[in-house]
Amino acid sequence: MTTDTDAWFATCPKGVESLLAAELGSLGADTTRETVAGVHFTGPRALAYRACLWSRLANRVLWPLAQFDAVDGDTLYRNMKDIDWGRLFTPDKTIAIDFSGENRGIRNTQFGAQRSKDAIVDWFVSAAAARPSVDRGNPDVRLNVRLVRDRAHLSVDLSGGSLHQRGYRLQAGAAPLKENLAAAVLLRADWPGVAARGGALIDPLCGSATLLLEGAMMAADIAPGLQRKRFGFEHLLIHDAAQWQAIVSDARSRAERGRAAQLPEIRGYDWDPAVIRRAQDNIARIGLEKVVRVSCKPVSGLQKPDHRPLPFGLLVCNPPYGERIGEKESLVGLYRQLGEAMSREFPGWHAAILTSDLELGKATGLRSHKRYALFNGKLATSLLLFDLTDNTLRDAAKAPAAARVELSEGATMFANRIVKNRKRLASWVKREQVQCYRLYDADMPEYSVAVDIYGEYVHVAEYQAPKSISPEVAQHRLDEVRSALPAALGVAADRIVYKQRSRQRGKEQYKRQDNRGEMLTVREGEARLLVNLNDYLDTGLFLDHRPLRLRIAREAKGRDFLNLFCYTGAATVHAALGGAHSTTSVDLSNTYLGWLNDNLALNDLQSGRHTVIREDCQSWLGRARTRYDLILLDPPSFSNSKAMSDSFDVQRDHGELVRRTMAVLRKQGLLYFSNNRRGFTLDPSLRDEFQCEDITASTLPPDFQRNRKIHCCWAIRHKA
């Protein structure tokens, strides 16, 4: 990098190498040479800068520094320490090592990274300099060491972090399409050529709007790295700040001209309002609200915009792949709906569909004229290109076997009820900006499931069938639910999670159902909360208590709040965001207290005002000396945890529990006591001792009006 011409290496997703080589050539590379998941290229330092700023396809831009023997950890250490690190950066910079590869002497990447780091630190110490610090998450200088048999290849990461992170997408759903792969899809589909001829861009399953925004940036000539806050090369001693600023200034001028130009029509749709809100946030973050427009619409309702003539364009989407067992069959209807809309609404257009299953691609009923192999992470996918001119839709009877799926009479009835319920709740969901709610709760006895919406995902809990129903009949009915939901909701089958729910005792309700560890961020009022749809019977958020949590948020300002049996702490987060002077949360479960801490951190609530205590609530209350203004007491119906000295039954034991809680409530304070025990009755003696008001009706939200016994709730105060 100290010479006029140097060699560089850009990494990329597999299958994108030829596109990246062409892109680097257009940026001024003297030579390019493709290899698996990357391209070697040569050119001046300005080229490396332009690649970091302008590449829509690269993951990282690396500057190869050296190759040397690394048969074992000691050899690696010696050769790393021989490098003059003081010529690259100063010791006040933080560092991180990305190490890949193993051999007989270096058997894991963590060991290789540690020895590499030791060599760099020891070099600075031996040079009588300060000791650099390690920052694995956000270092100033990131180094890449790749071990190939007994040779180490050392590079400096000029990008600093993956270039697919443009800065406009802060959250994404499950299996998100990375920005650089989205760009590759658009380039393979010749979106730049379509846009140049005045064509439109439409994504009927837009998700977080990644394809739309990448397409808009191409059409507006906006450099994909223009919003990135930092690059790795900025912390190197050989960085030419003046040259870099000139390149950035030119990119900003081009973006201004592009935004001011007449840009193509760019539209996106998704069935879920929460997903559309996320897409709108991304669009606003990059300032393209006047160019990219998104709205709620299922695939079944897809129509070509008619506000002005759109005779030509590109329809592009990344539908769900159906990687989980049993999901492929339920996706067939979605792909068929997509094919019907493409044929009906967009004759003369081009289309591009990214899928990992060619049978699903065939389920559209349309002929693709070209197929490209791409990798979405480690998942092999196919990009199918369609010319919709005279592309006749195959009849369902002639379509591939996978496409010939019809709903049974029972599944049709279930689907109709889902559609009816969603329509009934639609205005409330929109008005109150509700992201998580119950859509169906065993409305029809034959289909005894609870269907809950969590943003762009669906959680289905199957109630245990009575003994009079055979396992075969129960399974058949669940299969009908599986077949009906994707079409009824217009949602991908891989966004629907199924669980069986039965009566639980003690720790059974907390047992893991899976070990994916996938957390989804949802919003409730001002709070952002983590839910886990797969690993536990419950998701981490009891939806029926939404009104009570929002009430606590309104009443918490300036108060000391206590949350007993706090679970994952959703009410604690609401109280803290509502301005509580302090919060204290008590529970026995390490798992859920860790979840609570994550929820606090997610909402930037990490100050010392929020105390988390692992202890049996009854024991803790017996020793508590602090007093509180606002308390939530929401015990389980039954518990026999080994950490407790005795079992707990809410009907039998609630009187003493409420009295102990009232002992730590200040004179003018308020206790909310709630539980979900069916047939629960409040101990009459509590009414004699305290002012007890049954507020159950006001704490039941519209989505639980059908099941009014889901919980009971009292507001309890000291008598004057």
pLDDT in the model for residue 476:
87
| Domain 179-220+263-403: CATH class, spelled out | alpha beta
Local structure of 75: helix, strand or coil: helix
Tens of pLDDT, residues 220-257: 999 999 999 899 999 999 999 999 999 999 999 999 99
34: left (phi over 0), alpha (psi -120 to 50) or beta: beta
Every domain range in the chain assigned CATH 3.40.50.150:
179-220+263-403, 520-718
Strand partners, 294: 268
Q: Count Cβ atoms below 10 Å from residue 257 Cβ, excluding itself.
A: 11
pLDDT in the model for residue 720:
84
Listed in sequence order, the residues at least 6 apart from 550 whose beta carbon sits closer than 8 Å to its beta carbon are: 524, 525, 574
**Comparing C-alpha atoms, which of 175, 277, 171, 165 is closest to residue 214?**
165
Starting at the earlier edge strand, list the strands of the sheet with 457-463. 436-441, 449-454, 457-463, 496-501
pLDDT in the model for residue 606:
72
DSSP assigned state of 389: T
Listed in sequence order, the residues at least 6 apart from 94 whose beta carbon sits closer than 8 Å to its beta carbon are: 132, 133, 134, 135, 138, 139, 140, 141
Query: What is d(CA 293, CA 264) in angstroms, rounded to the nearest whole number?
Result: 12
Query: What is d(CA 8, CA 48) in angstroms, rounded to the nearest whole number?
Result: 7
pLDDT in the model for residue 506:
43
Instruction: Say if CB 20 and CB 10 are below 8 A apart.
Output: yes
Instruction: Say if CB 220 and CB 258 are below 8 A apart.
Output: yes
Q: Which long-range contacts (CB under 8 A, 24 or more apart) does 616-619 make?
A: 616/588, 616/641, 616/643, 616/644, 616/645, 617/564, 617/565, 617/586, 617/587, 617/588, 617/657, 618/644, 618/648, 618/656, 618/657, 618/660, 619/645
How big is the CA angle at 336 (ends 444 and 344), to the nearest 5 degrees? 115
Every domain range in the chain assigned CATH 3.30.750.80:
409-502
CATH fold of 6-157 reads VC0802-like (3.30.2130)
Listed in sequence order, the residues at least 6 apart from 657 whose beta carbon sits closer than 8 Å to its beta carbon are: 617, 618, 621, 633, 635
Q: Is pTM, for the whole model, over 0.75?
A: no
Listed in sequence order, the residues at least 6 apart from 191 whose beta carbon sits closer than 8 Å to its beta carbon are: 201, 215, 218, 219, 314, 316
Note the Cα 34 to chain centre separation in Å: 33
Q: Helices 570-577 and 546-555: crossing angle, nearest 10°?
A: 30
**Comparing C-alpha atoms, which of 562, 649, 645, 576 is closest to residue 608?**
576
Tens of pLDDT, residues 656-680: 999 999 999 999 999 999 999 988 9
Tens of pLDDT, residues 612-635: 999 999 999 999 999 999 999 999
| Sign of the dihedral through C-alpha 344, 346, 348, 354 | negative
| Sign of the dihedral through C-alpha 10, 11, 17, 20 | negative
Query: What is d(CA 631, CA 589) in angstroms, rounded to the nearest whole number?
Result: 19
Q: What is the DSSP string of 586-646?
A: EES-HHHHHHHHHHHHHTT--STTEEEEES-HHHHHHH----EEEEEE---SEE--TTSSS
| Domain 520-718: CATH class, spelled out | alpha beta
**Comparing C-alpha atoms, which of 597, 641, 599, 600 is closest to residue 619?**
641
**CATH code for 409-502?**
3.30.750.80
Task: State phi, psi for 68 to the nearest 5 degrees.
Answer: -160, 165
Query: What is d(CA 292, CA 283) in angstroms, rounded to the nearest whole number?
Result: 7
Instruction: Say if CB 78 and CB 62 are below 8 A apart.
Output: no
Every domain range in the chain assigned CATH 3.30.2130.30:
6-157
Alpha carbon distances (Å) from 117 to 61, 97, 247, 332, 444: 21, 7, 33, 51, 63
Local structure of 385: helix, strand or coil: strand
Instruction: Say if CB 436 and CB 527 are below 8 A apart.
Output: no
Q: Count Cβ atoms below 10 Å from residue 169 Cβ, excluding itself.
A: 21
| Ranges of the chain with pLDDT below 50 | 1-4, 174, 324-326, 396-397, 399-405, 502-510
